[in-house]
Amino acid sequence: MPAPNVVSWTSLMSGYVNMGQPQFALWLYTKMHESEVRPNGFTFATLINSCSILADLKTGKMVHAHVETMGLQGNLVVCSSLVDMYGKCNDVDGARQVFDSMGHRNVVSWTAMIAGYAQNARGHEALQVFRGFNRLMLERPNHFMLASVINACASLGRLVPGEVMHGAVIRSGYESNDVVASALVDMYAKCGGFLYSDKVFRRIPNPSVISYTSMLVGAGKYGLGKRSLKLFEEMIDRKIMPNDVTFVGILNACSHSGLIDEGLGHLNSMHEKHGIMPDARHYTCVVDMLSRVGRLDEAYKLAKSIRVNRNEGALLWGTLLSASRLQGRIDIAVEASKWLIESNQQVAGAYVTLSNTYVLAGEWENAHSLRAEMELIGVHKEPGCSWVEIKDSTYVFYAGDLSCERGDEVISLLRELERRMMERGYVGGSTGLVFVDVEQEVKEEIVGLHSERLALAFGLISIPKGVTIRVMKNLRMCSDCHRAFKLISKIVERDFVVRDVNRFHYFKDGSCTCKDFW
């Protein structure tokens, strides 16, 4: 074309974005900038979308500056694109600044802001923005907004708001929408309601790979590895191609259920049958899988052979560190901790886990030395925290904090339960659960006041019989509390679900779905 105009330039850029070449669209803008053609709002929206796809915050800010220079900061489409771009580049505060500056907003801009918060682990703020949208009642929420709010509920473990959103989905007619249904499946699974996940999933007319992946990941988190494998087979039978995330889910499911042969078989099939090259995430699952069945030397050898970046390495070596603590392998624990500390990843957790490894091995001098080093450099252990949701309120409990809600009743019930457990042969205070050497009597008292026990006792006195008690925890559930919860479920004849940092435990009639394998 002898003299391409703004429409020509913008159409060409948009074409490259749609073809999966956003970087070339940005290069075209530099060439357009050299000509005398002025970009319009659609041009900038296309460029900003390119930055979103690339998660290129630096270029995104440059484009934002050009928007301001061109006087298009009041353009609804451009501003909505900027909110989305900042959110996808993990600068959610930048997204909020643009959002707050907008004189007019539509459902797209509101959705971008909610999604930005939800995708950046700021679920509470996502729910607040959604409440603000509802108060204005200017438009009906679309399926992207509903899915984003449901994802926020899932990340928070908030079942009640999630159920409210499910009602909104039904009223809006989006129950069969694959994106929304997949979000609901994930939300119910993460909030301790796997049976509801299954019900939602079975109502999807034509489930996609996203729906199947959400479902098999949820089953795996509950220790239902064989169920995950059946879902995978069902998906293949329906000619639905798995993706890389599906294989992360299936490998995790095998790991949590001790299905080592099945897991290794799926790893080997990834490239041979499905053309997907395993990456660090998949090999980390295999390291975890091998570690859980006692094949720690193989897991260590595999971990040493994997090339990882810092974030991938944090998960890989964190997995190996936890396994080495449980199996008393100080040599591997020291190396894993050293990697994490030198990479400035999970520093507090690395120190604490290494200390507990020393304690398990009876090396108290090393444990105390490590504690002194932590105090010297100002590293502090993350406090154990659990919470229970009742109606629209969340009640939070911290380990050893006796000033909790209905504290006297909670402590009284825990003492009574302790007495009844001891009648059944329970001995509290597992080795390695505390950070320094203490007398056994004090150790039992500390373990007895772990946050999940406080939360459970509060749930027992506050939630009517017949309703499952759901406890969420920010750390891994300790083995002593796990034994106690199994006994308590039989004593009080009630079901409990505990979501810890790794998985779900469903306690019923003296047993747990994890089958003591976690």
pLDDT digit string, tens, across residues 382-395: 788 999 999 878 89
- 139-143, 355-359, 430-434: which has the minimum mean pLDDT? 430-434
CA 383/CA 224 separation, integer angstroms: 30
Confidence class of residue 442 from pLDDT cuts 50, 70 and 90?
very low
346: left (phi over 0), alpha (psi -120 to 50) or beta: left
Per-residue pLDDT reduced to its tens digit, 159-203: 999 999 999 999 999 988 999 999 999 999 999 889 999 999 999
Counting residues of the chain whose pLDDT is more than 70, the rounded percentage is: 95
The answer to whether residue 355 scores a pLDDT higher than 70 is yes
Confidence class of residue 402 from pLDDT cuts 50, 70 and 90?
confident
| Greater model confidence, 518 or 246 | 246
117: left (phi over 0), alpha (psi -120 to 50) or beta: alpha
Confidence class of residue 453 from pLDDT cuts 50, 70 and 90?
very high
Quick one: the chain helix, strand, coil %, rounded to 5?
A: 65, 5, 30
115 closest CA partner among 131, 128, 126: 126
Bridge partners of 469, per DSSP, are 496
Reduced to 3 states, what is the DSSP secondary structure of residue 164?
helix
Judge contact between 218 and 506, C-beta under 8 A: no
The answer to whether residue 9 scores a pLDDT higher than 70 is yes
Sheet holding 469-473, edge to edge: 393-398, 385-390, 469-473, 496-499, 504-508, 511-512
Confidence at residue 209, expressed as pLDDT on a 0 to 100 scale:
95
Instruction: Give the chain's mean pLDDT.
Output: 89
| Greater model confidence, 298 or 356 | 298
Reduced to 3 states, what is the DSSP secondary structure of residue 461?
helix
- 232-241, 358-367, 487-496: which has the minimum mean pLDDT? 358-367
The answer to whether residue 434 scores a pLDDT higher than 60 is no
User: Count of CB atoms within 10 A of residue 158's CB?
Assistant: 24
The answer to whether residue 114 scores a pLDDT higher than 80 is yes
Confidence class of residue 23 from pLDDT cuts 50, 70 and 90?
very high
Per-residue pLDDT reduced to its tens digit, 326-345: 888 888 988 888 888 888 77
The answer to whether residue 489 scores a pLDDT higher than 50 is yes
Q: What is the mean pLDDT of residues 38-45?
A: 94
CA 173/CA 221 separation, integer angstroms: 30
Bridge partners of 471, per DSSP, are 388, 498
Reduced to 3 states, what is the DSSP secondary structure of residue 288?
helix
Give strand ranges (E) for 271-350: none
Q: How big is the CA angle at 248 (ends 245 and 252), to the nearest 5 degrees?
A: 145
**H/E element, 505:** strand 504-508
Confidence class of residue 440 from pLDDT cuts 50, 70 and 90?
very low
